[in-house]
């Protein structure tokens, strides 16, 4: 036995029993937390869509033109006839720390490309659902799909959207990557999560570049993560270079200071999230000598492959100029 919930496929279950079986199957595939939302959702969903519109109108997306995809405002465009959304969390918190003095890489990129991992397991779940409920349709979505993923995860009860823009679970913090399975089945939903940030402003105060311009609003144009991953310019902007603090691929500062992440958290033992050793001890002088082929090998099946070798070198030089990861002097 593989420990997965099995259905008598010749005897379809009532929708509430099918929902229970679907959650059980998702948990057996390594997802937690897991929740269901009904489409079109409750009164908070239109507010989240309106917030997206304001964010886009203000230009906070920077060069991320794909954030303006109109399908992001209409979930029906992703799956005609969608009635329910299964939202799942993928824990990427691991019980290891980078070596002292090493350059810094966001935790989400330490292991295998989460897009592949989450998508593959959601597709397993979708195929199982197709067998369990013949005639139903489904679609698997990770954060590369034009979906209001955090809003739907909030609607499904996985956690609330915090002031730093991340989804926060009261016992797992925000070290969660999200996936969604859209389905045409009208499954009974879970209760939406309630926000628990309260008066805390730790993330706003800690952001060195002031990217969290107000609670719940992140301006990508000021964000270290955006510039080290998405910015294709030859040089980083001077205000970003001056505040890198050793970050060369993403940034976790607003998560590291969050009180919900400073409690004891469950650490994942999943092989796919375990760190590649070189990311925990990244030294600038050594990494600057790596060829494009060497970078390609190190980044194989990594979400950080989005950062091209020349961008790594740009980021490394900028961080080292600030005194991190070996002193850098231009030859």
Choosing from 119, 143, 252, 281, which is the catalytic residue? 143
143 is catalytic: yes
Neighbours of 184 (CB within 10 A): 18
As a whole number of angstroms, the distance between CA 331 and CA 311 comes to 19
Q: How far is CA 74 from CA 66, 77, 272, 314, in A?
A: 15, 6, 32, 38
- Strand-strand pairing, 34-38 and 138-141: unpaired
As a whole number of angstroms, the distance between CA 178 and CA 193 comes to 15
As a whole number of angstroms, the distance between CA 244 and CA 318 comes to 8
Q: How far is CA 306 from CA 109, 125, 148, 235, 259, in A?
A: 11, 27, 22, 17, 30
As a whole number of angstroms, the distance between CA 319 and CA 330 comes to 13
| Residues designated as active site | 143
């Amino acid at each position: 036995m593989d420990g997965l919930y099995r259905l008598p496929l010749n005897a379809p279950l009532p929708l509430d029993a099918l929902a229970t079986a679907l959650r059980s199957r998702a948990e057996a595939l390594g997802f937690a937390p897991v929740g269901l939302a009904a489409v079109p959702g409750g009164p908070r969903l239109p507010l989240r869509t309106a917030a997206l519109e304001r964010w886009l109108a203000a230009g906070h997306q920077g060069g991320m033109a794909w954030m303006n995809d109109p399908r992001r405002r209409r979930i029906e465009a992703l799956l005609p006839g969608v009635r329910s959304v299964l939202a799942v969390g993928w824990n990427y918190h691991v019980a290891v720390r980078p070596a002292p003095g090493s350059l810094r890489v966001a935790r989400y990129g330490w292991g295998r490309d989460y897009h592949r991992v989450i998508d593959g397991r959601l597709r397993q779940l979708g195929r199982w659902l197709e067998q369990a409920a013949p005639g139903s349709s489904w679609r698997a979505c990770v954060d590369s799909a034009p979906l209001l993923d955090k809003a739907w995860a909030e609607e499904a009860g996985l956690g609330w959207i915090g002031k730093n823009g991340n989804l926060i679970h009261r016992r797992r913090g925000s070290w969660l990557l999200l996936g969604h399975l859209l389905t045409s089945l009208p499954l009974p939903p879970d209760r939406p999560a309630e926000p628990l940030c309260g008066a805390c402003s730790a993330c706003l105060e800690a952001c060195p570049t002031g990217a969290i311009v107000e609670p719940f609003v992140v301006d990508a144009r000021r964000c270290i993560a955006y510039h080290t991953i998405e910015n294709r310019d030859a040089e980083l902007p001077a205000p970003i270079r001056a505040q890198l603090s050793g970050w060369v691929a993403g940034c976790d500062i607003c998560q590291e200071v969050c009180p919900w992440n400073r409690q004891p958290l469950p650490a994942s033992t999943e092989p796919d999230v375990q760190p590649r050793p070189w990311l925990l001890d990244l030294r600038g002088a050594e990494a600057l000598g790596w060829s494009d082929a060497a970078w390609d090998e190190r980044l194989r099946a990594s979400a950080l492959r989005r950062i091209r070798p020349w961008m790594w070198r740009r980021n490394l030089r900028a961080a080292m100029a600030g005194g991190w990861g070996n002193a850098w002097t231009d030859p």
